[in-house]
Amino acid sequence: MRFTKMHGIGNDYVYVNAFEEKLPADIPALAIAVSDRHKGIGGDGLILIGPSEVADARMRMFNADGSESEMCGNGVRCVAKYVYDHGIARKPELRIETGRGVLTLQMFPGSNGKIDRVRVNMGPPILKFDQIPTTLPGQPPLNVPLEVGGKKFDVTCVSMGNPHCITFVDEVNDDWVLRVGPLLEKHPAFPRRVNAEFIQVVSPDEFIMRVWERGSGETQACGTGACASAVAGILTGRTHNRVLVHLPGGDLELEWAGGDSPVFMTGSATEVFTGEWLGG
């Protein structure tokens, strides 16, 4: 099976062209095997790029533990780059089908003619607590008190097609991300588990973020998490409608006008290498 390794600001996945490659019946097991950083290719998960009846291509995303997720903001930028660069659909604007629905992406080629930046219409945030989903109260839950791992703090919950729990902290550190993050992921308030974002606001136009991703652990970046955090920052009065997000893997530009408006995310997409998976 041929594969391509790609990343969006360090959020790395193994990508397979399902237009051409024959896939095994057990995709979750494949995702676990290829994601292993010691015995496999290594990555935050597996993303399949295949045919769609309603868009230029369809994206399916599997976490490193084999679970399937609805969406990945960094991943969908890479899918669009692959679709454009590999000639599946060479358009300035692409439509990609995801578990969240069909997303529209603007393509920005570099000097070599290949795509190096992508702007994604991520759709409007989902703010109803039962659709996020969470049992925490509010539409959406804003600054709701929670006690996890001996810490008492406030959380804000937003969905971008997948659930996010955002915590604003004085300083983002390992204790928050590596100790509290796993506990939040599996907290009973989140029936489908949750992605946990920890945000340090630098100014109303800028914040630092680290994330513990559902099914993958800490990753270098999370596009949907950055979008959800930008929405949370605006709704809680901490940030403006346009914000620059600093993640361990790089930066993202986010915009949200509020209400039912879509969130726009702009960032890089990088192809690293290709190879053949032998099934070991």
| Neighbouring C-beta atoms of residue 6, cutoff 10 Å | 25
Tell me, yes or no, if 157 is annotated catalytic.
no
Task: Give me the catalytic one of 72, 78, 157, 227.
Answer: 72
Task: Give me the catalytic one of 78, 157, 165, 222.
Answer: 222
pLDDT for res 279: 81
Which domains occur in the chain, in start order? 2-122+267-276 (3.10.310.10), 144-261 (3.10.310.10)
Q: Reduced to 3 states, what is the DSSP secondary structure of residue 66?
A: coil
- 99-139 per-position pLDDT tens digit: 989 999 999 999 999 999 999 999 999 999 999 999 999 99
Distant-in-sequence, close-in-space partners of 71: CB < 8 Å, separation ≥ 6: 61, 98, 99, 100, 160, 161, 162, 224
Q: Which residues of the chain carry a pLDDT beneath 70?
A: 280
- 142-173 per-position pLDDT tens digit: 999 999 999 999 999 999 999 999 999 999 99
Tell me, yes or no, if 72 is annotated catalytic.
yes
CA–CA dist 78, 70 (Å, integer): 16
What is the distance in angstroms between the CA of the first residue and the CA of the last residue of the chain?
Answer: 12
pLDDT for res 280: 61
Region of 217 (left: φ > 0; alpha: ψ -120 to 50; beta: rest) is left
